[in-house]
Structure 1
Amino acid sequence: MKSSEEHRKYLIVFGDSFSSVGNRGEQPKFLANWYTRFSNGPVWPEYLAHDGGFALIDFAVGGAVTNNKFIESQTGIKSQLADVLGQVSLYKSIFRGKFSPSSLQDDVVVIEIGTNDIFPVYERVFGGSVDLINYSNETVKSTISALESLIKFGYKNFVVTDTPNLSNMPVFGKLDQKALDSLDDYVRMTNKKLEIARAALETKYSSEVNYIRTVSFYDIYKTIPTMDLKKLLDTTAICDPNMPLGENAIYSKRSDSDSYFCVDGAHPSTRVHALLSSVFLETLRTGNVHISKEVIEKLVNDNEIRKVGSEDNRLYNENSLKTGNLNVEEYTIETTQLHVGKLVGRKDSHALHFKWHSASGQFHPHFEH
């Protein structure tokens, strides 16, 4: 927890390095660029929590996939990191039976996952031995399973992201056009399936949820590179053309990191994260946002995105550059477990129709006389 202000609306985030604020402990220095964030400053959940008036509970883990067991069965690569199913399972085990139903009405759950089902295992997935249709189906199935379990937990407001346009990422820049086209075909196929499944899930639970919306990372990542980056974001390029890429590359802090869309081979700068957050915030306010050049330009201007940077940032306090602490009330997996009582008690002190029963360890309906 970093901010002295306490909020009763929670933003709960599950995902990978695009969303993580530090859940891997000893992270590799070449990825943990800014106090355990995979960027050069705050990341989108922190901007969204700050601007939307939420306390942030972030269970996202850098390197996470949708389903460890399935990915291992297809690629032979075993991960010790919590996949999105594991993140959700852990969250539910921590809070099961502790929140009254009425206290969850204004909370928002975001699931951002899928990139690492491809990113670190690209050669094995596209090497010819993996059934890409089945692989895509399982990615979507695991994401929907995570969403459905959180609906049954009691949450009512959801946002899910699709997979970014990976073929635009610097890390894939050495692939030939045929390989890039195949990668893009796969991502678009998976995203289409996810959107169909999301809509079906929203229909299935229409009487139980307020919404299940989509933020299209794919459309954002596909559209921005076609725009004038200098005019739009005051950046000079997608990435530094001299930046080292590959497993052994070391990315050290640099003074010109705000000049690029990506701070490494895949991860966006904090300025881009602020833009991503503005899309999320608009999605919460008005519904799914159709991404276009005009929409992006408006969000950049309305939210003064060009003023956001790694050194000067509206989320910073006087100690942020020395500590990584922000003007955001936020919790990692570890700090969530340390503050369960406070997180539960704060919300349910205002839940008028439920009372805590210590014997059962749950809330039960309570009628005032």
Structure 2
Amino acid sequence: MRGHNRVVLNPNNMRVALLVFVLLLGNLPMEVEATSGRAITAEIVISDFVWDSDDDILVEVYVSGAPFNRDITLEWELSDKNGMIESDVITFRMGGSTHIVQFNLSEFYRGGTYHDISVDVSLDSTVVSDNFPFTVLRNSLLESASNLVVFGDSLSDMGNGNNSAIVSVIFSSPPYWQGRFSNGPVWIEHISDSYGLTTTFGDATAAGDNRAFGGSQTGQGYAYLTLPNVGTQINNYLANVQSSFTNSDVIFLWAGGNDFLYGTGNPDLISQNMASHIRALEAAGATRFVVANLPPLELTPEGASRSAQQQATMASDVVTYNTKLAQEVNNLSTSLNLDITLIDAWSIFNQIVNNADHVGITNTQDQACTGGSSVPLVPLPICGTGATIVSNVDEYLFFDKAHPTATMHKIIGKFAVMNIGDDDTDGDGVIDSLDDCDWTHDPSTVNSDGCDWSQQDEDMDGVSNSDDDCLGTNPGFDVDDYGCADYQKDTDGDGLTDDVDPCPNDVPGNDHDYDGCIDLVDSDDDNDGILDESDSCPLGLVGVHSQDFDQDGCHDDEDLDDDQDGLSDEDEDIAGSDPFDVDTDDDGVWDGQDAFPTDPEEWKDSDLDGYGDNSDAFPYDESEWTDSDYDDVGDNSDKFPTDPTEWDDSDLDGIGDNSDECPFTPGDSIFPKGCPDRDGDGFSDDLDEFPDDVNDWVDSDSDGYGDNNDAFPSDASEWLDSDSDGYGDNQDVFPTDETEWLDSDFDGCGDNSDAFPLDSTECVDSDLDGVGDNSDPWPDDPREWMDSDFDGVGDNSDFDPFDASETKDTDGDGVGDNEDMWPLDSSKKRDSDGDGVADSEDSFPNNAGMSSWVGPFVSLVIFGGIITTVIFYLKKINKQPSAEEEWATERPLEAPSFEDWK
């Protein structure tokens, strides 16, 4: 129980144990006042935090520390956010050190959700108080459905995501429960239970009506390449499970959270996607939908991990999305004539955060599980294998960074059921709008108007059955407040209706013969034809009678002594005598004078001991009448009435004085007989070496330990073998360990389990590598036991065990990774000139300006070309052209031939 607001998670077991404890204490003689140092405490215990409006809630108040035999007052008050609903005062007295005061809350729901029950326990001027917050949701009547079909993300996923390639890498149960993204059933499962249906999950071509998939987003396609988005979920379902829906199918849609946390975060696009999903389902025949908007994602641990600006943007976008989603849902409901219930998850979440204590939640910010494995580069807000879970997970709102706990899922489910169905506050199966009777008590007799038998008016006289004293009044008669017409009334209350009562206005009084007239005015009260003044039994049997044995005016059945023999009929019945025979046993003595009226052998009892004088062994001693053993001592005073050798027991120990070795000292020893034997082992205290130990009487080795309990009765140096290993505790180095008794090297480890029994510095070799854990830097790794260069890497796996700066050579090129500028490329090692080109590829490894022959070669070629051109030109200008060359270079286009030109 948490503080004083604790839910008893297993109420039956705790209640039984506590009641047994209280009963045991109640049997102890505690008739004293409490001391001034004892503090009175009061604690309210209710078995749950969330209730339905038609529930009957048992409230238990555990009061401790109060005194006995004092009147204690407990005042309780029930209230909701609108004020007090009802209250009461209970006075009690303590029945034990802890007293439980119980009372029930029922038929109190007034429309409020969050309630408080508070108590004040007072004694004199001392007042202690306690308060218990809880939640009540209006009971809801769901329209029948044949099937629930679910599409969405991890909030509704019952196992699909657990089978995915990405999620299954780190997703495991535990910490998650049976494939759910929580530690228990998710919200949709609670809704299925309320419908009385069973929903199974499935993906792709598999069967199953819950298609929700952890990590999915709205729209078509796949998230992270493998997680089907809602549109793909719908397509797969229609293609592989059923291609159409009926009016008895209810479609559940809840998605969009991943879009904001890891997707586009575009309110317009996400709301349009949801609308398109509804249209696609409607096209397949779906008419009934339950759609949930998004909670304030910025308040999840995942959202809270973002920057302040990101949180503000996310909060605003979610509100925008919820507004647009509501508009889309309203438009689709109207245009397509659909029945769509919109679950306001945003408001539900905020209500829970603001009233967390009313649902048993103490932490609304942190995640209950942390750590575990993860998938690199994939932002999954879940805890992986090996995660740590808080001990009070049921008091957390969030199980991981984005998903509710099973507690929160149950609450969401209950809120959703309340919104989906029609109000049925009293849970009688008739919705409030058609219910004419509040708080029906007997649902088995409820009619279509919501009224049980007691609330109905069968004879239609305007008075309900429970208040009608005259059910079945004929139509047309006026009735009083008790439902009785004049012909049904009994004005004087004598059991006769006024129309047949000869004395209809009698004052209250006895009416022996029930003739309608009280005895005071009736002259023949028993109506036997004899007036009361002449009747010995005026209030006798009613009616005329003829049997009167003694003719005294009373019927024999009412005559106290029918034969007037002095012995009443009642006594005759007890004695077995004949009430119509004055001397039943014919011994000459009338029954009234005969002490034994049915025994012809007896008629007198002088000592009035109930035994006739003729057979009484002691006729004048009222205390004795039999001597069974004929020892002249009456059985009543004979301590041993069937033993003629014994009759007295002076010490009252059950052993006759004649055979008692200690006749004046009570005792029950066997050896010798009748002497004190404190420990009851049969040996008298004088002979018993252990007079106060029932298990021992002899100590053969005189070591102070009796033979029966001495593990070594013949060895005075040993008497105990605690671990039963055959070695006495005095010489056993390990007296409580049956597997050890010797420690040769005095290291505290027994030789049997000591891996090094002769080496006091070593005891354990956990990895069995032949090197003790104390000197083994890696006691759990059989492959390592030494670190020569103290670099934290064992010599066996260290690339250079004597160089602390190098531990690995990843590319196997003989140069350690720290020195190797290319640790993953075995063809490259060093860069002597620091030009970024490995020496193995650098034609000039010591010249940072050059790394290959390509540059110089190109420069040389260019330089050669320039030199050649210059030389050619110089030669040309210094050469005199021939006449033919001059003609070839200078002739115009229309020049004559060379011969003509020449």
TM-score range, shorter chain: 0.5 to 0.7
Match of 2:268 among 137, 141, 144: 137
Structure 1's 78 and 41: CA in aligned 2 closer, same or farther, altered over 3 A? Answer: closer
Q: Determine whether 1:212 maps to 2:212.
A: no
Q: Which runs of 5+ in 1 are unaligned?
A: 1-6, 126-131, 288-369
**Cα distance between partner residues in 2 of 1:191 and 1:226:** 20
Which residue number corresponds to residue 46 of structure 1?
A: 189
Which residue number corresponds to residue 528 of structure 2?
A: none
1:256-267 residue pairs with structure 2 within 5 A?
256-267=392-403
Which residue number corresponds to residue 190 of structure 1?
A: 321
**Cα distance between partner residues in 1 of 2:172 and 2:328:** 32
8 Å Cα contact 1:140-1:190 kept in structure 2: yes
One-letter amino acid of the counterpart of residue 396, structure 2: Y
Match of 1:65 among 189, 194, 217: 217
Give the superposition deviation at 1:254: 5.1
Match of 2:234 among 88, 113, 130: 88
Match of 1:171 among 302, 305, 322: 302
1:229-244 residue pairs with structure 2 within 5 A?
229=356, 231-240=357-366, 244=370
Q: For residues 253-290 of structure 1, give each alpha carbon's deviation from its aligned partner in whole angstroms, at most 9, with x where no partner exists.
A: 55432121111111111111111111221222139xxx
8 Å Cα contact 1:20-1:58 kept in structure 2: yes
**Cα distance between partner residues in 2 of 1:60 and 1:21:** 8
Identity %: 24
8 Å Cα contact 2:298-2:304 kept in structure 1: yes
8 Å Cα contact 2:298-2:314 kept in structure 1: yes
Q: How many residues align?
A: 255
SS in 2 for 1:118: helix
8 Å Cα contact 2:146-2:248 kept in structure 1: yes
1:149-164 residue pairs with structure 2 within 5 A?
149-164=280-295
Structure 1's 203 and 64: CA in aligned 2 closer, same or farther, altered over 3 A? Answer: same
Q: Determine whether 1:203 maps to 2:334.
A: yes
Structure 1's 235 and 242: CA in aligned 2 closer, same or farther, altered over 3 A? Answer: closer
Which residue number corresponds to residue 416 of structure 2?
A: 280
Q: Which runs of 5+ in 2 are unaligned?
A: 1-143, 200-208, 372-378, 424-902
Structure 1's 254 and 226: CA in aligned 2 closer, same or farther, altered over 3 A? Answer: closer
**Cα distance between partner residues in 1 of 2:256 and 2:360:** 29
Give the superposition deviation at 1:78: 4.2
Structure 1's 34 and 95: CA in aligned 2 closer, same or farther, altered over 3 A? Answer: closer
Structure 1's 31 and 283: CA in aligned 2 closer, same or farther, altered over 3 A? Answer: farther
**Cα distance between partner residues in 2 of 1:226 and 1:82:** 35
8 Å Cα contact 2:301-2:366 kept in structure 1: no
Match of 1:19 among 156, 177, 182: 156
8 Å Cα contact 1:164-1:219 kept in structure 2: yes
One-letter amino acid of the counterpart of residue 234, structure 2: V
8 Å Cα contact 1:158-1:212 kept in structure 2: yes
**Cα distance between partner residues in 1 of 2:344 and 2:228:** 24
**Cα distance between partner residues in 2 of 1:262 and 1:270:** 9
Structure 1's 176 and 78: CA in aligned 2 closer, same or farther, altered over 3 A? Answer: closer
Give the superposition deviation at 1:15: 0.3
**Cα distance between partner residues in 2 of 1:19 and 1:277:** 11
One-letter amino acid of the counterpart of residue 43, structure 1: V
SS in 1 for 2:158: coil
* More off after superposition, 275-284 vs 160-169: 275-284
**Cα distance between partner residues in 1 of 2:187 and 2:368:** 27
One-letter amino acid of the counterpart of residue 151, structure 1: E
One-letter amino acid of the counterpart of residue 349, structure 2: Y
Give the superposition deviation at 1:153: 1.0
One-letter amino acid of the counterpart of residue 257, structure 2: T
Match of 2:350 among 206, 222, 231: 222
If the length of structure 2 is used for normalisation, what is the TM-score?
0.27
Give the superposition deviation at 1:29: 3.6
Structure 1's 79 and 9: CA in aligned 2 closer, same or farther, altered over 3 A? Answer: same
Q: Determine whether 1:108 maps to 2:250.
A: yes
**Cα distance between partner residues in 2 of 1:66 and 1:242:** 28
Structure 1's 282 and 241: CA in aligned 2 closer, same or farther, altered over 3 A? Answer: closer
Which residue number corresponds to residue 293 of structure 1?
A: none
8 Å Cα contact 1:9-1:53 kept in structure 2: no
**Cα distance between partner residues in 2 of 1:192 and 1:263:** 28
RMSD of Structure 2 on Structure 1 (CA): 2.6
**Cα distance between partner residues in 2 of 1:136 and 1:241:** 27
Which residue number corresponds to residue 27 of structure 2?
A: none
**Cα distance between partner residues in 2 of 1:226 and 1:9:** 37
8 Å Cα contact 1:68-1:78 kept in structure 2: no
8 Å Cα contact 2:368-2:398 kept in structure 1: no
Q: For residues 31-88 of structure 1, give each alpha carbon's deviation from its aligned partner in whole angstroms, at most 9, with x where no partner exists.
A: 761111001000111111011122322000000001255xx9xxxx743211000011
8 Å Cα contact 1:66-1:139 kept in structure 2: yes
Which residue number corresponds to residue 260 of structure 2?
A: 118
Structure 1's 187 and 31: CA in aligned 2 closer, same or farther, altered over 3 A? Answer: farther
8 Å Cα contact 2:300-2:401 kept in structure 1: yes
SS in 2 for 1:221: helix
SS in 2 for 1:200: helix
Give the superposition deviation at 1:22: 0.7
**Cα distance between partner residues in 2 of 1:28 and 1:263:** 19
8 Å Cα contact 1:68-1:79 kept in structure 2: no
* More off after superposition, 108-117 vs 218-227: 218-227
Q: For residues 140-186 of structure 1, give each alpha carbon's deviation from its aligned partner in whole angstroms, at most 9, with x where no partner exists.
A: 11111111111121122101111221011111223343332211111
One-letter amino acid of the counterpart of residue 9, structure 1: S
1:250-329 residue pairs with structure 2 within 5 A?
250=384, 251-252=387-388, 255-286=391-422
One-letter amino acid of the counterpart of residue 256, structure 2: G
Which residue number corresponds to residue 311 of structure 2?
A: 180
SS in 2 for 1:219: helix
8 Å Cα contact 1:66-1:143 kept in structure 2: yes
SS in 1 for 2:189: helix
Which residue number corresponds to residue 146 of structure 1?
A: 277
8 Å Cα contact 2:152-2:255 kept in structure 1: yes
**Cα distance between partner residues in 2 of 1:188 and 1:31:** 34
Structure 1's 240 and 28: CA in aligned 2 closer, same or farther, altered over 3 A? Answer: farther
SS in 2 for 1:160: strand
SS in 2 for 1:193: helix
Which residue number corresponds to residue 295 of structure 1?
A: none
Higher relative contact order (CA 8 A, sep 6+): 1
One-letter amino acid of the counterpart of residue 22, structure 1: G
Q: Which has the larger radius of gyration?
A: 2
One-letter amino acid of the counterpart of residue 62, structure 1: G
**Cα distance between partner residues in 1 of 2:308 and 2:189:** 36
Structure 1's 220 and 242: CA in aligned 2 closer, same or farther, altered over 3 A? Answer: closer
One-letter amino acid of the counterpart of residue 330, structure 2: A
SS in 1 for 2:363: coil
One-letter amino acid of the counterpart of residue 199, structure 1: N
